[in-house]
Amino acid sequence: MSKIIVRKAGPLSGQVITGGSKNAVLPLLAATLLTEDPCVLDGVPNLKDVEVMCRLLRSFGAEVEQDEGGRRITVRAKTISTSEAPHDLVKAMRASIVAMGPILGRCGEAVVPLPGGCAIGDRPIDLHVKGFVALGADVEVVTDEGGGCVRADGRALKGAEMYLDFASVGATENIMMAAALAEGTTVIENPAQEPEIVDLANFLNKMGARIRGAGTDTIRIEGVERLHGAEHCVIPDRIEAATFMLAAAITRGNVLVENMLPNHVVPIMAKLRECGVQLSEEEPGLRVDASGGFFRATDIKTLPYPGFPTDIQPQFMAFLSTVQGPSNIVETVFENRFMHIDELNRMGAGILAEGRSAIVRGGASLTGAQVRATDLRAGAALVLAGLVAEGETVISDVYHIDRGYEDLVGKMAGLGADIRRVKNGGPVDSVDRLVFAE
Ligand code: EPZ
């Protein structure tokens, strides 16, 4: 099992280049199943989750080729050999569920094992099911000792109007992809508005879909007969970019975060400015100057986009534990996304969790400890805390981090962090080491 060891090394400095977005590339890869033509995705991040998604596409019969660096992926789903997703891959990565919409739209049927819950929540799929039913599919959710599956049968999907009770990212993506080939018009009210939704709609429109309103509170999809191949470059990862912004902030450093889109991280910029961190757009990215030293606390409430992103809540909490004054953090998106609090408190963070709220006392002087990454973003938060903790911080279960960050250790070291990855015997984690994933 690999571990990450971090030691305090002073303010980070220099520049770091953000990679392609994990949460954009996964649905983009799924969307290639909607056509028999070849599709090309550029700017692909080299992540474990991308490897799992490529294996999933191959399990449906698609040809998947990655160039040497893995940055460019060509997918050709000329024929779909099965409409059933394999259990092991869906369990390894719950985001596999977004293959259901394309398979249903392309084949008229789809069977996907229930992805199940994970560290941060139960992760139901009732809104995905609601969308497929609205499009005219017969959907059955079967639960059994193996975890069960969701079975959708819809030979001739028909456009429909629907409202999402929660602006679910995955449900919006699944419905958009199934509706792209449905007959007639689909209107999704209260969809997710994340940049990843816009990126997916842009790719689908390049494939010949007719989608309007992505990124707003109403998406309209005019179904078409077929979709053709297309080329697309994945948007930068706003969560990775924000993680490096917070690495600069927590170490009181001065870092240029490159290849990122400032308009995708507006809430994080606003909250860092409230704390007193200096931010300025500087080609080709955003300069984060936290060398000013004294910072004041602020409160955070996570919300669907354009609200403050839940995927940055753990990392921002680590930063707030080091600024003077109490902060209140409310997590409204996931019901159990405070697993990192116990680990941060082992480092002396002084955080009290009360249901979906957490009170961060502030002003903590963190000390290194043996800690465990409980999920992807919690792991990133522990790395940030380790950057300023006295002594050595040893982080285990780092396979979570590998799912969503490409070479986090190398990029942090490039900014001057004292950080390294060690192996305790055994091979470095691989995607064959299938784990339950957020
Ligand atoms: C996506 O997950 C992201 N993952 C998550 O990022 C992100 O945290 C989340 O969106 C919210 O922004 C990918 O894009 C691969 P949701 P998703 O459906 O689609 C409830 C990371 O760290 N809900 O928007 O699964 C659900 O329980 C990961 O990169 C229903 O109730 O998120 C949750 O409370 C973690 N019924 C809330 O909505 C449903 O049918 C948000 O879920 C679906 C969701």
**DSSP 3-state of 166:** coil
Give the pLDDT confidence score for residue 323 in this predicted structure.
Answer: 97
Ligand 1 atom index nearest CA of 130:
40
CA distances from 181 to 103, 184, 351 (A): 11, 9, 49
DSSP result, 174-201:
HHHHHHTTSBSEEEEES----HHHHHHH
C-beta of 98 in contact with ligand 1 (< 6 A): no
Give the pLDDT confidence score for residue 122 in this predicted structure.
Answer: 84
Give the pLDDT confidence score for residue 120 in this predicted structure.
Answer: 87
Please, what is the Cα angle at 136 between 132 and 141, to 5 degrees? 50
Contact 11, 186 (CB under 8 A): no
Ligand 1 atom index nearest CA of 309:
12
From atom 21 of ligand 1, which residue's Cα is the shortest distance away? 311
CB atoms within 10 A of CB 130: 18
From atom 38 of ligand 1, which residue's Cα is the shortest distance away? 168
Asked, as a colleague might, if the bond just before 284 is cis with ω within 30 of 0, I would say yes
Distance from C-alpha of 242 to C-alpha of 257, rounded to nearest angstrom: 9
C-beta of 376 in contact with ligand 1 (< 6 A): yes
What is the percent of the chain with per-residue pLDDT over 90, rounded to a whole number? 91
Distance from C-alpha of 181 to C-alpha of 159, rounded to nearest angstrom: 9
pLDDT band at 432 (very low <50, low <70, confident <90, very high): very low
Give the pLDDT confidence score for residue 427 in this predicted structure.
Answer: 39
Give the pLDDT confidence score for residue 430 in this predicted structure.
Answer: 41
Give residue-wise pLDDT tens across range 68-127.
Answer: 788 999 999 999 999 999 999 999 999 999 999 999 999 999 999 998 777 888 889 999
C-beta of 237 in contact with ligand 1 (< 6 A): no
Give residue-wise pLDDT tens across range 185-237.
Answer: 999 999 999 999 999 999 999 999 999 999 999 999 999 999 999 999 999 99
Task: Tell which residue, 149, 114, 153, 151, has the closest CA to residue 136.
Answer: 153
Question: Is 118 an active-site residue?
Answer: yes
Mutate-to-test residue for ligand 1 from 133, 169, 375, highest number of ligand atoms within 8 A of CB: 169
Which stretches of 12-47 are DSSP H helices?
22-31
pLDDT at 437 over 60: no
Give the pLDDT confidence score for residue 438 in this predicted structure.
Answer: 47
Give the pLDDT confidence score for residue 118 in this predicted structure.
Answer: 79
Give the pLDDT confidence score for residue 333 in this predicted structure.
Answer: 97
Give the pLDDT confidence score for residue 119 in this predicted structure.
Answer: 80
Ligand 1 atom index nearest CA of 129:
40
pLDDT band at 433 (very low <50, low <70, confident <90, very high): very low
Taking residues 281-307, report their average pLDDT: 95
From atom 16 of ligand 1, which residue's Cα is the shortest distance away? 168
pLDDT band at 255 (very low <50, low <70, confident <90, very high): very high
* C-alpha of residue 38 to centroid of ligand 1, in Å: 29
From atom 4 of ligand 1, which residue's Cα is the shortest distance away? 23
Ligand 1 atom index nearest CA of 126:
40
Ranges in the chain annotated CATH 3.65.10.10: 2-19+236-433, 22-233
What fold is seen in the domain 22-233?
Answer: UDP-n-acetylglucosamine1-carboxyvinyl-transferase; Chain (3.65.10)
From atom 3 of ligand 1, which residue's Cα is the shortest distance away? 23
Torsion of CA 389, 399, 18, 120, to 10 degrees: -80
C-beta of 100 in contact with ligand 1 (< 6 A): no
The matching CATH number, chosen from 3.40.50.1370, 3.65.10.10, 3.40.50.300, 1.25.40.10, for 2-19+236-433 is 3.65.10.10
Give residue-wise pLDDT tens across range 326-353.
Answer: 999 999 999 999 999 999 999 999 999 9
C-beta of 125 in contact with ligand 1 (< 6 A): yes
Q: Average pLDDT of the chain?
A: 94
Q: Give the β-pairing of 38-42 and 2-7.
A: unpaired
Distance from C-alpha of 315 to C-alpha of 386, rounded to nearest angstrom: 12
Task: Tell which residue, 117, 109, 97, has the closest CA to residue 174.
Answer: 97
Distance from C-alpha of 57 to C-alpha of 106, rounded to nearest angstrom: 13
CB atoms within 10 A of CB 213: 16
pLDDT band at 64 (very low <50, low <70, confident <90, very high): very high
pLDDT at 428 over 70: no
Contacts of the segment 341-347: beta carbons below 8 A, 24+ positions apart: 341/317, 343/371, 343/372, 343/373, 343/374, 343/378, 343/382, 344/317, 344/318, 344/371, 344/381, 344/382, 344/385, 346/370, 346/371, 347/371, 347/382, 347/385, 347/386, 347/389, 347/393
Amino acid at 13: S
pLDDT at 424 over 80: no
Burial of residue 233 (number of CB atoms within 10 Å: 0-12, 13-18, 19+): middle
| Residue whose tokens read 């006295």 | 390
C-beta of 23 in contact with ligand 1 (< 6 A): yes
* C-alpha of residue 169 to centroid of ligand 1, in Å: 6
Burial of residue 426 (number of CB atoms within 10 Å: 0-12, 13-18, 19+): exposed
Residue 168, both tokens: 């679910």
Taking residues 405-430, report their average pLDDT: 83
C-beta of 171 in contact with ligand 1 (< 6 A): yes
Least confident of 142-146, 379-383, 419-423: 142-146
Ligand 1 atom index nearest CA of 170:
19
Give the pLDDT confidence score for residue 293 in this predicted structure.
Answer: 76
Rg from Cα positions in the chain: 21
Contact 277, 255 (CB under 8 A): no
> Which among 54, 118, 149, 275 is annotated as catalytic?
118
C-beta of 176 in contact with ligand 1 (< 6 A): no
